[in-house]
């Protein structure tokens, strides 16, 4: 039996602005206001696991322990089939410059690795999102969402964040960065994981 969340303010254990904005938007219809880890001055724990769920657990439990409140974390990324699932849990690392993140650099790397392998088209990939809701007593619940699609080059669109400009979800011919928020959130990995979270942890 899934444990219910009965508050009206949810601590989301992320410092990523793009993820946080999508969470606010996704949870608004359920009357839940979202508080980010930045607002609570929470430290960013090191993500030392090699799975999405492992890293999501680290972030959620660290935040729940530090605040005494239930905390939701998001670990996500993109898996590219022709690169054997890379960058996967290292999706954010590919953007790391030492002085912040550069997603154009990360997308260029993905494209160049595909080119150097002469990978066939369509270059299929999946965005993946694992959400963990952790309580201060150590209990947690896990929810996963996947959005399958393919990669395009050159990149297209100005909305969204991260790798959105190179990803076209199945059933569409525009990238996530060319979609408005509603359209992306309806079909995205994060939208799907939040749907499972809401079904599992909210009454009604």
Chain residues in the site for ligand IMP (CB under 6 A): 16, 47, 75-77, 91-92, 127, 160-164, 176, 188, 190
Task: State yes or no: 190 annotated in a binding site.
Answer: yes
Task: State yes or no: 186 annotated in a binding site.
Answer: no
Q: Which residues contact 173 (CB under 8 A, 6 or more apart)?
A: none
What dihedral do alpha carbons 89, 125, 103, 188 form, nearest 10°?
-90
CB of 35 or CB of 49, closer to ligand IMP: 49
CB of 126 or CB of 188, closer to ligand IMP: 188
Given the residues 75, 140, 159, 170, the one annotated as active site? 75
CB of 3 or CB of 92, closer to ligand IMP: 92
Residue 187 · residue 149 · CB < 8 Å: no
Looking only at Cα atoms, what is the longest distance across the chain? 51
Whether 84 sits among the annotated catalytic residues: the reply is: no
Q: Which of 173, 174, 181, 170 is nearest to 157 (CA)?
A: 174
Least distance (Å) between residue 204 CB and ligand IMP:
27
Annotated binding site for Mg(2+): 46, 75
Q: Which residues are catalytic?
A: 75
């Amino acid at each position: 039996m899934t444990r219910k969340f009965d508050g009206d303010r949810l601590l989301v254990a992320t410092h990523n602005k793009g993820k946080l904005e999508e969470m606010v938007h996704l949870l608004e219809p359920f009357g839940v206001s979202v508080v980010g880890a930045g607002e609570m001055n929470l430290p960013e724990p090191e993500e030392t696991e090699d799975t999405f769920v492992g890293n999501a657990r680290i972030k959620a439990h660290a935040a729940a322990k530090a605040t005494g409140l239930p905390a939701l974390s998001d670990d996500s990324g993109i898996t590219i089939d022709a690169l054997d699932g890379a960058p996967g849990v290292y999706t954010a690392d590919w953007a790391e410059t030492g002085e912040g993140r550069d997603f154009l650099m990360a997308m260029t790397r993905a494209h160049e690795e595909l080119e150097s392998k002469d990978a066939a088209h369509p270059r299929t990939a999946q965005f993946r999102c694992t959400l963990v809701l952790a309580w201060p007593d150590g209990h947690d619940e896990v929810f996963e969402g996947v959005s399958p699609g393919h990669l395009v080059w050159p990149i297209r669109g100005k909305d969204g964040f991260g790798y959105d400009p190179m990803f076209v979800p199945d059933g569409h011919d525009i990238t996530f960065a060319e979609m408005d928020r509603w359209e992306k959130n309806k079909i995205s990995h994060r939208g799907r994981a939040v749907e499972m979270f809401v079904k599992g942890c909210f009454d009604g």
